[in-house]
A = this chain, B = another copy of it.
Amino acid sequence: MAKNKPKSTTELKQLGKKIVHSIDKGKNPYIELPVRSISNIIFDQKIKTLKLGDKSAKRFFFNVAHAKKFVQTVEVAKLTYNLLEEGKHASLRDVFYMAKRTIPETKINLVDDQSESDSVIEDLELITNCSREQLNVNANKMGSVAGRVIIKDGKDTINWAKLGSGGWSIPSNVENIKFKNITAKYVLYMEKAAVWERLHEDKFWDKQKCIIMSSQGQTTRGIRRLLQRLNEEANLPIYVLTDFDPWGFYIYSVLKFGSISLAHIAEKQAIPDVKFLGITADDIEKYDLKKHLIKLNEKDLARLKQMAKYEWFEKNKDWQRQFKIMKELESKAEIQALSSKGISFISEKYLPEKISKKEWLD
């Protein structure tokens, strides 16, 4: 149960009060919020992060085009308020099912499709200036972590260095964990669980005094937030290890600059300190990986072209060079190609060498 009311509860209450106030005064109640369409997404050069522009819109109750969305917003606000009051968390899918009720004496469902309740949750993030996680609505759980950190989570004290071969399973929501003791000097984040297991078996985090973290494929919100908290609260640099392909580069891009689909909270989620450790075009030359190149397919090529034009990469010479070489090679390379040099080449040579020589891309 929530003891100290969190900010999100106060904000949701505020939203309700405003609406009640309008009704009491006999006015048409409305909710004002920033426009989330692509036309209102900008890249802020100063803070090097995607964010929303200044355009905002009002959503009225007495407006045929707005009424349904207005009611959905109030309903989902109520649901999240109740979650906060009960100290419970729900997934987006749960919220959908909870909101999907038939309006009495009609045949109309409040929501018919999850995209509707999802969209309202994003609105509420803007209205309350709280993240979905602060509204107790969780994203999907994924990923593992190990390293020189002791945390406190609820009543449990967990030492990330003493969890056997599995490591700690990262929850979808990391708002409430507390860092008790950190003796790591940096965080290494990788896209592949198999690479994590390799480094973990080699006790890489112990020898290198660091933290190793991975998801499988996309970086979940729980992982992004955990990386961000380790960066902000413990000043740890974050290094990213992915394949040499457009998708690997984009994993870095999202962590560092924010994602287009979540531009409305990019500013809150971006971690400007993130560095890209590899695999780079230079590694392919240096570590003799040419033999293990894989031909780029059409989708890869299209993605590469698109990425090279992103505002945040456009004037970055180092990154443009990577894009150019990838295009010339017409090829990608996987992290695991390093295994051709020996199973522990990555943990004994590649990574220690790159980190000590500061061979990263920024």
Selected contact of A153 from candidates B102, B164, B343, CB within 8 Å: B164
Known: A194-B140, A197-B141. A339 touches B94 (CB 8 A): yes
Does chain B have a CB within 8 A of A173?
A: yes
Shortest distance between the CB of A229 and any CB in chain B (Å): 14
Shortest distance between the CB of A203 and any CB in chain B (Å): 10
- Which of A60-68, A119-127, A154-162, A315-323 contacts the other chain? A154-162
Q: How far is the CA of A138 from the CA of B193 in the complex (A)?
A: 11
Q: How far is the CA of A130 from the CA of B152 in the complex (A)?
A: 41
Contact of A158 with B154 in the complex, beta carbons under 8 Å? no
Known: A89-B197, A164-B158, A171-B164. A340 touches B98 (CB 8 A): yes
Contact of A164 with B144 in the complex, beta carbons under 8 Å? no
Selected contact of A166 from candidates B97, B153, B343, B344, CB within 8 Å: B153
Smallest Cβ-Cβ distance to A101: which chain B residue? B340
Contact of A168 with B166 in the complex, beta carbons under 8 Å? yes
Shortest distance between the CB of A176 and any CB in chain B (Å): 7
Shortest distance between the CB of A40 and any CB in chain B (Å): 31
Q: Which label, helix, strand, loop or mixed, suits the secondary structure of the A interface?
A: mixed
Contacts of A145 in B (CB 8 A): 169
Contact of B171 with A140 in the complex, beta carbons under 8 Å? no
Contacts of A93 in B (CB 8 A): 194, 334, 336, 339
Known: A83-B343, A141-B144. A166 touches B162 (CB 8 A): no
Contact with B along A314-334 (1 / 0, CB 8 A): 000000000000000000001
Shortest distance between the CB of A202 and any CB in chain B (Å): 8
Contacts of A171 in B (CB 8 A): 164-167, 197
Does chain B have a CB within 8 A of A7?
A: no
**Chain A, 201-224, CB within 8 A of any chain B CB:** 201-202, 216
Does chain B have a CB within 8 A of A337?
A: yes
Known: A164-B151, A336-B94. A88 touches B193 (CB 8 A): no
Does chain B have a CB within 8 A of A78?
A: no
Contacts of A152 in B (CB 8 A): 164
Contact of B343 with A140 in the complex, beta carbons under 8 Å? no
Q: Which residues of A does B touch, CB under 8 Å? A: 83, 86, 88-91, 93-94, 96-98, 100-102, 138, 140-145, 151-154, 156-158, 162-173, 176-177, 193-194, 196-198, 201-202, 216, 291-292, 334, 336-340, 343-344
- A88-B344, A91-B336, A94-B336 known, 14 other contacts, Cβ within 8 Å: A93-B194, A93-B334, A138-B197, A140-B193, A140-B216, A141-B216, A145-B169, A151-B164, A153-B165, A156-B163, A163-B168, A165-B171, A168-B168, A172-B193
Q: List 21 A-B contacts (CB under 8 A).
A: A89-B201, A91-B197, A93-B339, A94-B194, A94-B198, A98-B339, A141-B197, A141-B216, A151-B164, A156-B163, A158-B164, A158-B166, A163-B168, A163-B169, A164-B171, A164-B177, A165-B176, A166-B169, A166-B171, A167-B169, A172-B194
